[in-house]
Chains A and B, each alone.
Chain A
Amino acid sequence: MKLFRLFLMAIFLLQGALTFAAKVDSLDIPSAAMNRTYKAAVVLPNSYAKSKAAYPVLYLLHGGGGQFSDWLKQTPDKQLLHNIADQYNLIIVTPEGERLGGYLDSPVKPDNKFETYITKEVISKIDNTYRTIRDRNGRVITGLSMGGHGALYLATRHPDLYSAAGSMSGALDLDPKHWDIAPEFAAQIKPAFASILGPLGVKPDYYAANSVVHMADKMKENDVKLVIDCGVDDFLIEPNRELHRRLVYNGTPHDYTERPGGHTWDYWENSLPYHVLFFSKVLKGNGAMVQ
């Protein structure tokens, strides 16, 4: 009889597992490099708790005016990340990159070390906290706007860490003279950029040195799978077209999409599932998907 009760319990738990949804952890991830602690959100698929498998991780970066919680709070569908995590058995991490932190180690601002933070400190904290695939085969990265640039920038400079990278509406050229924006907006962001990249128009040109639009040859050397998209009404469409042209010209395999829309959360909510479909194929090819 006792056995049967256990049996019933097992069936009950099995059924329960089918209806649980993804769970979100809020995690403190300290940065020794910056001597600060930032929060990250970690979306765990519902299968995670009952599984013993190591999971692949999607690092999902926010934009220039945003913060780590954006991808969970700003999308029109507040369950977007939960549903994607569940559908693909994927851990999704949204780390902090600060307002206009640029996801780089600033050559002029010593306490802006977001390249070190995302590529070393965040990864090691996540790999030591969760059951993850602890190498590039199970790691992919994408983001929106500044985070799109950041994802391509970090993966291009650290091809040993990520097997695929994406950009949605990415600021792929950090020099705002290539953006289609009003002079007032340009004037407004200029000081923030200057604080991490120095003044424009001086040597060395840190803007050019750190822009992924100038990294097509490095991308070609790497074996990081690339997915890039932009809305045709986006003020960043031209730098996206420019990188696409350069990657076509030098023969670097990549997916490139233009679709309706501007620099909006409607656009990014629609775009993310296409990136994840792309990543799921790469991860499957790596044997890194949890069945």
Chain B
Amino acid sequence: MKALQKFLLLALFCLAFTSTTLGANVDTVVVASAAMSKDVKAAVVLPASYKKEKKASFPVLYLLHGGTGSYRDWLSKTPDKALLHRLADEHNLIIVTPDAGPTSYYFDSPLDKTSQYETFISKELIDKIDNTYRTVRDGKGRVIAGLSMGGHGAFYIASKHPGLYSAAGSMSGVMNINTATWKVPAEFAQLRAQNFSKLLGPPQDASNPYPEYTAVGRTEELKNSGLKLIFDVGIDDFLIDTNRDLHRRLLENGTPHTYIERPGAHTWEYWGEALPYQVLFLTNILKENGTIVQ
């Protein structure tokens, strides 16, 4: 009688414990970048199911931060501080938020050896994550997205490495790095233009300074990459014209893509709203690829 009582209590306790108290876990990993001869951090959000499903391989969303940001942004700046935890749990998804410095634009700079973030994101980080966690170790289980500079970064890196990721997403992305297309004060445009010169050298021409380094210049590569694409922007965002321009160009060259305009500007309220739609899109691709953990 007593034993039965104990057993039932224990059973109830276990039931309650497993169904309610296990949430996503966040690790911080340090990646030794050989390309840049420095250590770079990334946060890794592991879904609650990761510990329980000991034999499953999990798909990974690489989620990039914006200009003047860091790897902590997506975990500390969204209005809902548990947003990434909830999305990781809901979709059984590992979410990795790497650091890329304040103004690297995710390029391998031909001029600055300490700014080799294309190599970092596309090789060094992936190696580290795939060798540390139980991941799906190919493009079928890998997607990449980001905000602002990170939206640009997701499209740039994914289009340069066809097959490495199966989908790319951009929120409020810098889809044209020609700062003349941004609705910003002239001094800020000038400052960023100088940053691009420092990273990439003098502009090739005024209206199209670095065509192969920007999404609007890479529409053929985006088309041929086979990537599933989603990008969105707030109608009060200073980057709206760069997004509308990319939408137009991708319609013109026949690249399938999802494009969203919604209320809002270049703010964390906007990105907190946008991310769940991006994750719905990206996990639909992972589902089609058969890489979602059920």
Contact = CB atoms under 8 A, between A and B. Distances in A.
Interface of A: 4, 7-8, 11, 14, 232, 244, 248, 253-260, 270, 273-274, 277, 281
Given A7-B8, A260-B257, A255 B262 contact: yes
A64 B12 CA distance: 52
Interface residues of B, number: 22
Contacts of A14: 15
A11 B14 CA distance: 12
Contact of B258 (A4, A11, A248, A257): A257
B257 A4 contact: no
Q: Is the interface of A mostly helix, strand, loop or mixed?
A: helix
A274 B8 CA distance: 42
A277 B259 contact: no
A277 B91 CA distance: 14
A4 B247 CA distance: 64
A259 B257 CA distance: 6
Given A11-B12, A270-B284, A277-B277, A258 B258 contact: yes
A255 B280 contact: no
B260 A253 contact: no
Interface of B: 4-5, 8, 11-12, 15, 235, 247, 251, 256-263, 273, 276-277, 280, 284
Contacts of A4: 4-5, 8
A11 B8 CA distance: 9
Given A248-B235, A260-B257, 14 more contacts: A4-B8, A11-B12, A232-B251, A248-B261, A253-B262, A254-B262, A255-B261, A255-B262, A257-B259, A258-B247, A259-B259, A260-B256, A277-B276, A277-B280
8 contacts: A8-B8, A11-B11, A11-B15, A253-B263, A270-B284, A273-B280, A274-B277, A274-B280
Contacts, number: 45
A253 B235 CA distance: 9
Contacts of B273: 281
A260 B247 CA distance: 12
A76 to B, nearest CB: 12
Closest 10 pairs between A and B when the two form their complex, measured CB to CB: A253-B263, A260-B256, A259-B258, A255-B262, A257-B260, A256-B261, A258-B259, A248-B235, A277-B280, A277-B276
A259 B4 CA distance: 58
Contacts of A259: 257-259
A208 B15 CA distance: 59
Contacts of B276: 277
B91 to A, nearest CB: 12
Contacts of B15: 11, 14
Contacts of A255: 260-263
Nearest to B247: A258
A254 B261 CA distance: 8
A171 B263 CA distance: 23
Contacts of A248: 235, 261
Contacts of B260: 255-257
Contacts of A232: 251
A273 B8 CA distance: 39
Nearest to A261: B256
Contact of B263 (A8, A254, A273): A254
A277 B263 CA distance: 16
A155 to B, nearest CB: 17
A14 B247 CA distance: 49
Nearest to A87: B90
Contact of B262 (A8, A256, A270, A273): A256
Contacts of A270: 284
B255 to A, nearest CB: 9
A259 B251 CA distance: 10
A248 B241 CA distance: 14
A46 to B, nearest CB: 15
